[in-house]
Chain A
Amino acid sequence: MTTLTNVSIPEEGVRLTQPHVQAYIGSQSLGNGTLIISERAVTWTLTSAQSGDHSAQGFELSYPSIVLHATSTDRSNFPEEHIYIVVDGNKSERRRRRVPLLLTNEEEAARRALQVESEEMNEDEDDDDSEAGRSIEVRFVPDDKSSLSQIYHEVCVGQELNPEEDDDMSDDEGLECDEVSNGHDLQVNGSDGHWYTAENMDGVELSEEGMANLQRMMGGRRDDSDDEQIEQ
């Protein structure tokens, strides 16, 4: 059984409001409602349970929790064409720890409600595998099938508007790749923000003491070789 929660209806940055959209989580239908795609999240609200002007029963998917989305047009698996979304159930939980977003309560509740479904889906997986997220399948089935391509497109736009936050690097296994792709991120890592390699050692600035030590070491070595001490 899925419990819908009170979600705030987005008012800013709304890119698409599509009425008469059935929502499914896994194989369970949540009923008929309105799909609202804003720049901040994908929100679905149940039509029959309007609880106010600014909030309604429904659920909300933040863009970072949306692993992938697609238009499903093959009706051999599902009787109607729909928007198919894979949601990372762990994502909202992790984000809750890090950033206190307004929507996290709803996200968390939605996640908990969906957990049963995802547990069924992932039953053959180790529970302690924290990296492999609990994946939840969400489907939006609009009455108006001609809206499918626009829904798909607006979710793409929303994804592009919501890249990972910079502080996501800490638990990102793609750390090295990300560093390479954003040169400036190199500065944030390391104790003093600089990485020294054989190629840029010339630019190293040492303290007076460090410089003296270096000169002694370098000088000493040269003296040794010049003095024929080694040859003796």
Chain B
Amino acid sequence: MLFFSFFKSLVGKDVVVELKNDLSICGTLHSVDQYLNMKLSDITVSDPDRFPHMLSVKNCFIRGSVVRYVQLPSDQVDTQLLSDSCRRELTEAKTKQ
């Protein structure tokens, strides 16, 4: 659940979500759920030629499983904290076995 918590901390921040179909959507992270489904607001797309109708969309819901990458604002991410938390969660998962 670490990444869920992590993404929750980014709500309200601007992100770029790159989908597995190569569509990149830039927008403000409105909300995220445990499957990393994401709602974005005030979106723009990087290649409107492929999806011209995305231009007339302001908000959207993205299925978590279609996301390839999420580009984050680097000044909003404490990478040290994130990697420490990641290790801690892995250790906890192991001790539960």
* Chain A residues close to B by CB (< 8 Å): 63-64, 66-78, 84, 86, 88, 121-122, 131-133, 135, 137, 139, 152, 155-156, 159-160, 163-164, 168, 172-174, 177, 180-181, 183-184, 186-187, 194-195, 199-200
- The residues of A that contact B19 with a CB separation of less than 8 Å are 67-68
Contact residues on B (Cβ < 8 Å of other chain), bracket: 35 or more
- Chain B's closest residue to A181 (CB) is B3
- The residues of A that contact B55 with a CB separation of less than 8 Å are 74, 77
- The residues of A that contact B4 with a CB separation of less than 8 Å are 181
- Chain A's closest residue to B25 (CB) is A68
CA distance A200 to B37 in the complex (A): 34
CA distance A122 to B21 in the complex (A): 10
Contact in complex: B93, A76 (CB < 8 Å):
no
- The residues of A that contact B67 with a CB separation of less than 8 Å are 174
The CB with the most chain B CB atoms within 10 A, among A63, A133, A183, A184, is that of A183
10 contacts between A and B (CB under 8 A): A68-B60, A69-B60, A84-B53, A135-B21, A156-B61, A159-B61, A163-B35, A164-B35, A173-B68, A180-B86
Partner of B37, one of A122, A159, A174: A159
Tell me how far the C-beta of A185 lies from the nearest C-beta in chain B, rounded to whole angstroms: 9
- The residues of B that contact A163 with a CB separation of less than 8 Å are 35, 64-65
CA distance A181 to B60 in the complex (A): 24
Partner of A132, one of B3, B20, B25, B37: B20
Contact in complex: A183, B20 (CB < 8 Å):
no
- The residues of B that contact A187 with a CB separation of less than 8 Å are 97
Chain B 66-97 interface mask (CB, 8 Å, partner A; 1/0): 11100000000000000000100111111011
Partner of A72, one of B3, B23, B39, B53: B53
